[in-house]
């Protein structure tokens, strides 16, 4: 069994995944592809996720009975003596500073003034 969960990903990626998996809820895909197809699908998800996040969970032959992979998540899988656990971010450390964005110029553009006041 394979489960892929997408958050904030392009619609084209969701359409691509519906070729191989069943979308049971918005952004949640379930199916039973082979391991080779699953790995190829995951590479496509990682390549085309853009600013979105993705999570892959699949059955495997280990003590837990499943394995999972993440893409651009704040929580990361960590192996601890053969058992995969989730490492959450430390709430006491501040998040990295975002890059400053330039503010758009204030006021109306010339085109907007023409449209609003009917000048040509």
Asked if residue 51 is part of any domain, the answer here is yes
105 in any annotated domain: no
Q: Is residue 98 part of a domain?
A: no
20 is a domain residue: yes
Please tell me the pTM assigned to this model: 0.72
Task: Give me the pLDDT at residue 100, please.
Answer: 59
What integer pLDDT is reported at residue 81 of this predicted model? 86
Tell whether 99 is covered by a domain.
Answer: no
Residue 80: CATH number of its domain: 3.30.70.240
pLDDT in tens, the chain (120 residues): 999 999 999 999 999 999 999 999 999 999 999 999 999 999 999 999 989 999 999 999 988 999 989 999 888 888 888 888 888 888 787 766 655 555 555 666 777 767 666 665
Instruction: Indicate whether 117 belongs to any domain.
Output: no
Please check whether residue 65 lies inside any domain of the structure.
Answer: yes
Give 109's contacts (C-beta < 8 A, 6+ positions apart): none
Contact present, 18 and 31 (Cβ < 8 Å): no
Number of domains in the chain: 1
Residue 98 vs residues 41, 92, 101: alpha-carbon distances, Å:
31, 18, 9
Host domain of residue 73: 2-90
Predicted pLDDT of residue 26: 93
CA distance 24 to 30: 7
In a domain, 48, yes or no: yes
DSSP state of 119: -
């Amino acid at each position: 069994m394979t489960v892929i969960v997408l958050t904030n990903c392009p619609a084209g990626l969701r359409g691509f995944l519906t070729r191989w998996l069943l979308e049971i809820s918005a952004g949640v895909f379930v199916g039973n592809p082979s391991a080779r197809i699953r790995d190829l699908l995951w590479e496509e998800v990682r390549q085309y996720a853009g600013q979105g996040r993705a999570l892959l969970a699949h059955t495997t032959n280990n003590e837990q009975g499943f394995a999972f992979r993440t893409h651009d998540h704040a929580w990361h899988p960590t192996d601890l003596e053969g058992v995969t656990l989730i490492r959450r971010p430390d709430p006491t450390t501040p998040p990295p500073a975002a890059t400053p964005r330039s503010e758009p110029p204030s006021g109306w553009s010339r085109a907007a003034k023409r449209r609003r006041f009917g000048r040509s």
